[in-house]
Amino acid sequence: MPDYFVSDVHLRLDRPERSSRFSAFVLGLEADDSLTVVGDLCDFWFASRQLGLDPMRCPGLRSLARFRDRGGRLTILTGNHDAWLGPFYQEALGAEWVEGALERSSFGVRLSAVHGHRLGARSPWKGMMEGRAFLQGFRALPGPIARGLAGRLERSNSRSLARTHRRHLVTYRSHARSLIDAGAADLVLLGHVHDVFDEPIGAGRMIVLGDWIGGSSHARIDDSGVQFVADRPLASTVPLSVL
């Protein structure tokens, strides 16, 4: 009965490839396993424009519901894309919804997991996208305009990727070190940054879980320890000497 951790799946009905990839992973879990999504299970497009549709049309969501029906334990942390979807996740998936950080002991490993978007490194305008007003306004836009704005956002994120990594990693390492040095955690799990990082921090370890948009990654904890599995190379943009 291992504990699994993923982040930034970004499910939406019009992106079937990521849903199919995630569904295959979930269907491979055993009935007594535990799965924690460290934020952004669904994309803001789902939260604003597809929430009224049948969620079981999405293979990724359907697989989670079946996992819970088999007896699996499902926990979802709030992310910046799905900050308002807690009641939906609880009702549709039978998930435990956690606002903020999750503190848990898993096979003797003291862990702290949080999406990371509220640790202080995001741009102020990104914070505005979490609000109900933004989601309601985006829902009301005609389809072509909404898709155009979403495309511009993706291109902007791509252009600023290296700078975003640097800003967030400094903050993430400081956050992880404060917990590890205080003896509050052995392992700190984070999301939000869509690349994968696995680094020693003091006497502990920090893992940034990566996304499922173009690939897959997950952490697994069992009686043999912590394993991090990713289908892409680990990234590094800020030297450890920063801290």
Query: pLDDT tier at 99 (50, 70, 90 boundaries)?
Result: very high
Domains and CATH numbers, the chain: 3-242 (3.60.21.10)
Could you tell me the sign of the dihedral formed by the alpha carbons of 174, 180, 184, 188, in that order? positive
How confident is the model over 117-168, as pLDDT tens digits? 999 767 666 667 777 787 788 778 788 888 887 777 777 666 666 777 788 8
- Dig out the tokens for 6 from the structure: 């993923």
Three-state secondary structure call for residue 191: coil
**How confident is the model over 70-83, as pLDDT tens digits?**
999 999 999 999 99
- Do 107 and 113 touch, CB atoms closer than 8 A? no
The pair of structure tokens assigned to 100 is 């903020």
* Alpha helices per DSSP H over the chain: 16-27, 44-45, 59-69, 86-93, 124-128, 132-140, 143-159, 161-181
Rounded mean pLDDT of 187-196? 94
Burial pattern 206-216, b for ≥16 Cβ within 10 A else e, equals bbbbbbbbeeb
Q: Helix 143-159 crosses helix 161-181 at what angle (to 10 degrees)? A: 70
At 197-225, the pLDDT tens digits run 999 999 999 999 999 998 999 999 999 99
Residue 143: what pLDDT? 81
> With 50 as the cut, is the pLDDT of residue 239 above it?
no
Inter-residue long-range contacts of 54-59, CB under 8 Å, 24+ positions, other chains counted: 55/88, 55/92, 57/13, 58/11, 58/12, 58/13, 58/19, 59/16, 59/19, 59/20, 59/22, 59/23
Two tokens, residue 114: 């949080």
Count of C-beta atoms within a 10 Å radius of residue 103: 14
Per-residue pLDDT, averaged over 178-206, amounts to: 95
Asked whether the predicted pLDDT for residue 240 surpasses 50, the reply is no
Q: What is the pLDDT of residue 105?
A: 96
Query: Mean pLDDT of all residues in the chain?
Result: 89
pLDDT at residue 238, as a whole number = 47
pLDDT computed for residue 121 by the predictor: 66
pLDDT value, residue 236: 59
Q: What is the pLDDT of residues 23-71, one digit of tens each?
A: 999 999 999 999 999 999 999 888 888 888 888 999 999 999 999 999 9
Residue predicted with more confidence, 146 or 239: 146
Q: Whole-prediction pTM value? A: 0.91
Structure tokens at 157: 């994120």
Smallest CA-to-CA distance from 154 within 237, 231, 213 is with 213
Q: How far apart are CA 44 and CA 16, in angstroms?
A: 16
Position 94 pLDDT exceeds 80: yes
